[in-house]
Amino acid sequence: MLISPAVERKSNIGPVFAGSGNAGWIFELDDHGRVLYSKALPGTMAGSEMIDPLGFNFFDDLDGFREKAMLRERFRSFVVSGRSTESFYISAGEGAGTQKRILLTKVFRTGMPPPSPLVMMEIRKVD
């Protein structure tokens, strides 16, 4: 996706963490956190859609999310680690349904040079 520099476009990934109605999302990120793919998981409520985040940095677009710095650091640490998966929990606000499980998985594309892995980030609501 090409974005003209003359057209400023802002994505807001905040709905990923908002409220208890979101079952979850899956993102494919490059090693810098740029969104290459995103999809809401079945059970995510209508109306919780976000502006298309493709091409944007996932962490830069987490407006208003209080655990943004911690999540970015966990991601960076995971990318440079020798681990292939990591799972942890974060609080996305106050009240029921705001606890989220984060699953990070490294993905390597066959036939491509092995520089940096892609990372699949799955974000699920904890019941």
Please give the residue that has the higher pLDDT: either 31 or 51: 31
Is 5 a member of any domain? no
Please give the residue that has the higher pLDDT: either 113 or 28: 28
**Segment 54-78 mean pLDDT:** 84
Is 13 a member of any domain? no
Q: Please name which of 103, 106, 101 lies closest in space to residue 121, comparing C-alpha atoms.
A: 103
pLDDT at position 98 is: 72
What are the two backbone dihedrals, phi and then psi, of residue 54, each rounded to the nearest 5 degrees? -60, 130
pLDDT at position 2 is: 42
pLDDT at position 24 is: 77
The CATH number covering residue 46 comes to: 3.30.450.20
Distance, in Å, from the CA atom of 127 to the CA atom of 125, rounded to the nearest integer, reads: 6
- The boundaries of the domain holding residue 23 are 18-125
pTM of the model: 0.75
pLDDT at position 1 is: 41
* Count of structural domains, the chain: 1
CB 103 within 8 A of CB 87: yes
Is 105 a member of any domain? yes
